[in-house]
Amino acid sequence: MEKRDIWSTLSRIDAKLLYALLAVFIIVPLIKPLGLPMSIPAETRAAYDFIDALPDGSLVLLSVGTDPQTEAETWAQAIAMGRHLLSKKCNLVLMSVNSVGQPYAERLASILQEEFGLEYGQDICVLGFRAGEETAVAGFAGDFLTLYNADYKGAPVKELPMLKGVSSAADFKLIIDYQYKASAIWFARHVGGPHKVPVIAGSRASSAPNMMPYYASGDFKGVLPGIQGGAAYERLLQRPDQATKGLDAQSMGLILVILSVLIGNVATVMGAQAKSKKA
Amino acid sequence: MFIRKQLPVLVGFVGGIIVLGGFFLTDPSLRKAASTVVSWRTTLAAFALVLGAMNLVKVNWNRASAGKPIDRLAGLALLVPLVIMVVIGLTSGTTAKVYAYMYDNVYRSGAATVFSLNAFFVVSAAYRAFRIRNAHAALFMVAGLIAVLGPASIGAYLWGQLPVIADWVLKVPSMGATRGFEIGLALGIVSMGARTLLGIERGYFGGE
């Protein structure tokens, strides 16, 4: 049996070993956070400052587009921002334009209700899912009470105490969107522009570049890019939680990706050199 | 022939003009009409979801009843949970505990698991396929390293300037490219919208 040299071995690492290493690299920081340093993006700080400057009791819409695919990135953002908004005694209205995002809206309301002792209908309510994606957002902007005449339990929206006197999308002081497709851009287009309601985008890291032009133009008052945005928000709130752990795990996973690329390349180059020397 | 060809174009034209007018003009009655048309669209979208589900059932029923054994299994794997969720939703409502239980413990767990597998494929692909064979690949590698490491906490740990460079990449070259793309896309949408309103673009007729 031919004896392999080290470069040959390194260029043929079993994929299962890489999988096992990745699992370890991700799970360990989730169990025991490493406390790696982090930078706070300017657009996340802007979101924090904007919410911090909201008058107490402001009516805020949270569009929860989170689903299992984006949960790792946007769920922790929603929890952290929800806590911040409620510390400002804001009234929260939750909705979703994602058919599988609605249960996340319900869960977010339930978690915040329990943590802050909120009364449903008085401090927080869930309107539910509406089909149509961008059209649903346009419908919300055009005639909020026609789109939502009842909440997710079927109770008439007009009878919810927190929505008494609310007749249009313009009555909201802020909209925060947790990304489903380009939902934050839909809100900026249909509500932010025509009704002058500020919009903040909680996005996936991979979509953050698409959000930045809207932040630069002032259409978004802030952007939370992926886990980094959530972790930065938790840092600003001085309440590290899921995103802070997730950022450490993501960093360790990235280290393995980079090591994999480096090992693969070095092994290929050195292996080729060793072969040519033998020849 | 009028019903199949001219009428859909006429309906599209009138509906589109009302919605466009409601967006750009301040007349309250026009805005109200536009809002009504948009609310019809959300109702139609809800029906479209049902239609999509029915189509899914039809396709997978055919697979499950007449396909190869593996196709039958795949068809049943879709049909059985779909029927269970629909029955639970219709009988107990979507706010029922049993519905939430199924969502959390079947759909959510399954979807998150499938999506998480991407991380394993990325590591494997990074090791096997990402070879720096020329200057372009090297440039791609450097840009990738900056974009990936910069926002991550490990980036600042390795080199304090890495997040600053990553931020510059995001806010200057990347934003410029995104703006160009967005403007191009918007112009394309305007053009396509005008063609559709005028009945020139008839793709939605189903290829006739």
pLDDT, tens digit, 9 for 90 and up, residues B26-36:
899 999 999 99
Picking from A184, A212, A181, A182, the residue whose alpha carbon sits closest to that of residue A198 is: A184
Please state the pTM of the whole predicted model: 0.93
Q: Name the residue among B107, B126, B179 with its Cβ closest to that of A257.
A: B126
**Statement to judge: residues B123 and B164 lie in one domain:** yes
Kindly state whether B115 is in contact with chain A, defined as any CB-CB distance less than 8 angstroms: yes
pLDDT for res A271 = 87
B208 assigned to some structural domain: no
Whether the per-residue pLDDT at B208 is higher than 60: the answer is no
Say if CB A264 and CB B128 are below 8 A apart. Answer: yes
B31 and B73 share one domain = no
Report the distance separating Cα B75 and Cα B58, nearest Å.
Answer: 10
Higher pLDDT, A251 or A201: A201
CA angle (B165 as vertex; B162, B171 as ends), nearest 5: 140
Residues 6+ apart with CB under 8 A from B8: B204, B205
Q: What is the mean pLDDT of residues B52-80?
A: 92
Q: For residues A18 and A131, state if they share a domain.
A: no
User: Are residues B138 and B108 part of one domain?
Assistant: no
Nearest Cα of chain B lies from the Cα of A175 at a distance, in angstroms, of: 20
Q: Same domain for A29 and A46?
A: no
CA R_g for chain B: 25
- List, for residues A2-35, the tens digit of each pLDDT value: 556 888 889 889 999 999 999 999 999 999 988 8
| pLDDT of A143 | 87
A24 & A51 share domain: no
pLDDT of residue B207: 58
Residue A133 has pLDDT above 90, yes or no: yes
pLDDT band, residue B178 (cuts 50/70/90):
very high
According to the model, what pLDDT value does residue A111 have? 97
Kindly report the nearest CA distance between residue B66 and chain A, in angstroms. 31
> Would you state the pLDDT for residue B133?
83
Both tokens of B105, joined, read 């413990």
- A178 and A63 in a common domain: yes
Distance CA A49, CA A116 (A): 22
> For residue B42, is it within any domain?
yes
Predicted pLDDT at B94: 86
**A260/A230 same-domain check:** no
Q: Are residues A223 and A91 in the same domain?
A: yes
In a domain, B72, yes or no: yes
Confidence grade of residue A273 (pLDDT, cut at 50, 70, 90): confident
Residue A136 shares a structural domain with residue A202: yes
Check whether residue B83 and residue B104 sit in a common domain. yes
Statement to judge: residues B94 and B111 lie in one domain: yes
Span between the terminal Cα atoms of chain B, in Å? 12
* A273 contacts: CB under 8 Å, gap ≥ 6: none
The domain in which residue B25 lies consists of 1-51
Does one domain contain both B78 and B34?
A: no
Among B26, B27, B42, the strongest candidate for a mutation testing the A interface, having the largest count of A CBs within 10 A, is B42
**Whole-number Cα distances in Å, A15 to A10, A18, A25, B127:** 12, 5, 15, 9
Sign of the torsion formed by the C-alpha atoms of B141, B162, A180 and B182: negative
b or e along B24-34 (b: 16 or more beta carbons within 10 Å of the residue's beta carbon)?
Answer: eeeeeebbebb
Examine the domain organization and report whether A252 and A231 are in the same domain.
no
Q: Which residues pair with A176 in a beta bridge?
A: A62, A200
Examine the domain organization and report whether A139 and A226 are in the same domain: yes
The domain that holds A59 is classified in CATH as 3.40.50.10160
What pLDDT, on a 0 to 100 scale, did the predictor assign at position A2?
56
Q: How many domains does chain B have?
A: 3
Residues 143-202 of A with CB under 8 A from B: 143, 146-147, 152-153, 194
Q: How far, in Å, CA of A189 to CA of A197, rounded?
A: 11
The C-alpha angle A168, A170, A175, rounded to 5 degrees, equals: 110
User: Within this chain, do residues A17 and A153 fall inside the same structural domain, yes or no?
Assistant: no
Q: Determine the structural domain holding residue A261 and report its residue range.
A: 3-33+247-278
Q: Which of A122, A132, A127, A131 is nearest to A162 (CA)?
A: A122
Domain count along chain A: 2
- Those of residues 16-55 in A touching chain B at CB distance below 8 A are 18-19, 21-22, 26, 36-39, 41-42
The answer for B 145-164 residues in CB contact with A (under 8 A) is 145, 148-149, 151-157, 163
Query: Which whole number is the average pLDDT over A115-133?
Result: 96
- What are A184-221's pLDDT values in tens digits? 999 999 999 999 999 999 999 999 999 999 999 999 99
- Residue B12 within any structural domain of the chain: yes
Residue B87 lies in a domain: yes
Assigned domain for B61 exists: no
- Quick check: A175 and A152 in contact, CB under 8 A? no
SS3 B116: helix
- Domain assignment present for residue B179? The answer is no
* Predicted local confidence at residue A3, as pLDDT: 58
Contacts of A205 (CB under 8 A, 6+ apart): A73, A225, A226, A227, A228, A229, B151
Q: Is A114 exposed, middle or buried (0-12, 13-18, 19+ CB in 10 A)?
A: exposed
**CA–CA separation, A26 and B59 (whole Å):** 39
The answer to whether residue A274 scores a pLDDT higher than 90 is no
Whether residues A82 and A206 fall in one domain:
yes
Q: What order do you get walking across the sheet with A199-203 strand by strand?
A: A124-129, A91-96, A59-64, A174-178, A199-203, A220-225
Residues B140 and B164 in one domain: yes
What per-residue confidence (pLDDT) applies to B88? 94
